Amino acid sequence: MNGESHRAGIIDSVPVCIMLLVPDGSLRDMNPAGLAMVEADSLERIRGKPYHHIVAPEFRSSFQALVRKVAGGGTDSLEYQITGLKGTRRWLDVHAVPFHYANGPDRYILAVARDTTERVQREGKTRYDQKMEIISTLTSGIAHDFNNILTAIIGYATVMKMKLPEDDLLRPMALQILAASERASGLTKGLLSFGSKQILNLEQVDLNDIVRNATGIFEKESGGAITVSLNLAPARLAGMVDEGQIEQSLLNIMANARDAMPSGGTLSISTETMELEDTFISIHGYGVKGSYGVIALTDSGRGMDERTRRKVFEPFFTTKEPGKGTGLGLAIVYGSIKSHRGFVNVYSEPGTGTTFRVYLPLSGDRLKHASAAASLCPEGRGETILIGDNEGGARKVVASVLERFGYRVLQASDGGEALRLFQEQADQVRLVMLDIFMPVLNGKEVCDEIIRLRPGTRVVFTSGYTADIIRQKHLLSDNVPFIAKPVSPRDLLTKIREVLDT
């Protein structure tokens, strides 16, 4: 074998792209590894065509600068992206030098390019993880300290309210302080769960059951404008998870899907099992080996651009108008899934739609039968429920969940109105749900009056504070039913049914 064909054999076999460009930037020759990278079945497909058509638009001008420099006798290198003929994006690291054959006058650009996609993705993922870690440390630090401060504010404002006579001009101000600190406490809760600082209530659950329930709740809440298609893995996906947190995460993703489809559309939800092995991990740059349950949620909504996609999981990132979005929905999803040792990712194109994929480790153990059976949301049987809550947003959410699940609902926006409504319809009202801090009369005062009027009436309290803070402050005795805000629909329905049936 002579030296030349020997070298040709090497060029045909090296796993890097070797190509020859004409000074105008069109392709003259390319080895098989290069053809595979650009997804061309043969050299004829692309020979003579401008190479920069394959270069991703944002790198074209840098690539053309490289071509000019090397055509002028210099050398250059560049890391850039291409879009292969079949649409795959790759990162290439190219080094280019001037070249001419010993027996010819023509000048060429000889370029050698390595596929660096895996490395770039790994680095990007590491940087992303580091960024999220920093934000998470910062927010949970702030949230934690802030919670302590809020506890003091709430404590003193409560004492003030109790000491101030009914007709004191300062009383409404104390109530405002309480209402505002209740909102702040809601935000703080969100931040704490982004920082994965919430306690997990782990149980063996079939992930399919959680998906089924969340979908049911979503369908009832969204009232038919969105077509939901459910495609569940036939096998059970047994995971050790906090059912409430996973359900809430799915509902957050679904709420965003609904917002992205203001005039309707489809939401497809599917589950499957997946073995994560080394190849997946090295291609994507994340994950730990093992079996996972994958929940994929795809909407046909407006989608998002690259910049939005990179920021969706950050707390307070929102593209919605003030009052519509808090930017905490996906931050909470990220935190919850992470504390389950799972991960979540997003694919999206503007105008086409969005897919969120949630990966949760499967535990492989056998399911406890109890949790599978207990997974349906208990419904109402036409009972009338009176809700007293001055926070309109929270009250409406609770009301709409209850109405869709078979209850009749009366709403009051302060303690006085709650009492008035109760007096008017005392025969019908089966249960009263009272926010603890309300203007005019607080939850406890309303409750005392209602019990005086009708001793057997069932009462449930709610608040943005955790039950123990409220019990510490003696606003609630130990055996009174309590639901913490923000209320998850499942907890709400379960608790209401339980209280009605005892």
Residues that bind ligand ADP (CB under 6 A): 252, 256-257, 260, 299, 301-304, 308, 312, 317-320, 325-331, 354
**H helix intervals, 164-305:** 171-194, 207-222, 243-260, 278-284
User: What is the rounded distance in angstroms from the CA atom of residue 502 to the CA atom of residue 495?
Assistant: 11
User: What is the rounded distance in angstroms from the CA atom of residue 421 to the CA atom of residue 142?
Assistant: 41
- Give the bridge partners for 128, in sequence order: none
Residue closer to Mg ion (CB basis): 356 or 437? 356
Q: Which residue from 457, 400, 469 is spatially nearest to 433, judged by alpha carbons? A: 457
Task: Report the SS3 class of residue 300.
Answer: coil
Closest distance of CB 339 from ligand ADP, Å: 17
Residue closer to ligand ADP (CB basis): 157 or 312? 312
Residue closer to ligand ADP (CB basis): 202 or 255? 255
Residue closer to ligand ADP (CB basis): 146 or 316? 316
Closest distance of CB 163 from ligand ADP, Å: 39
Task: Rule CB under 5 A: say whether 329 interacts with Mg ion.
Answer: yes
Which of the residues 234 through 263 are near Mg ion (CB under 5 A)?
256
Contacts with Mg ion: how many residues (CB under 5 A)? 2
Residue closer to Mg ion (CB basis): 316 or 347? 316
Kind and range of the H or E run holding 333: helix 329-339
Which of the residues 424 through 453 are near Mg ion (CB under 5 A)?
none
Which of the residues 299 through 328 are near Mg ion (CB under 5 A)?
none
Residue closer to ligand ADP (CB basis): 331 or 421? 331
Residue 319 touches which of Mg ion, ligand ADP, none (Cβ within 5-8 Å per kind): ligand ADP
Residue 326 touches which of ligand ADP, Mg ion, none (Cβ within 5-8 Å per kind): ligand ADP
Contact (CB, 8 A) for 246 and 193: no
Handedness of CA 324, 326, 328, 330 (dihedral sign): positive
Residue closer to ligand ADP (CB basis): 301 or 361? 301
Instruction: Locate 368 and state its tokens.
Output: 């406890």
Q: Which residue from 157, 162, 198 is spatially nearest to 181, judged by alpha carbons? A: 157
Closest distance of CB 293 from ligand ADP, Å: 21
Q: How many CA atoms lie within 13 A of 221 on its CB side?
A: 20
- Give the bridge partners for 301, in sequence order: none
User: What is the rounded distance in angstroms from the CA atom of residue 8 to the CA atom of residue 464?
Assistant: 73
Residue 248 touches which of Mg ion, ligand ADP, none (Cβ within 5-8 Å per kind): none
Kind and range of the H or E run holding 120: helix 117-163
Residue 301 touches which of ligand ADP, Mg ion, none (Cβ within 5-8 Å per kind): ligand ADP
User: What is the rounded distance in angstroms from the CA atom of residue 10 to the CA atom of residue 31?
Assistant: 10
Task: Rule CB under 5 A: say whether 335 interacts with Mg ion.
Answer: no
Q: Which residue from 221, 297, 299, 298 is spatially nearest to 260, judged by alpha carbons? A: 299
Residue 331 touches which of ligand ADP, Mg ion, none (Cβ within 5-8 Å per kind): ligand ADP
Task: Rule CB under 5 A: say whether 354 interacts with Mg ion.
Answer: no
Residue closer to ligand ADP (CB basis): 11 or 255? 255
Enumerate binding residues for Mg ion (CB under 5 A): 256, 329
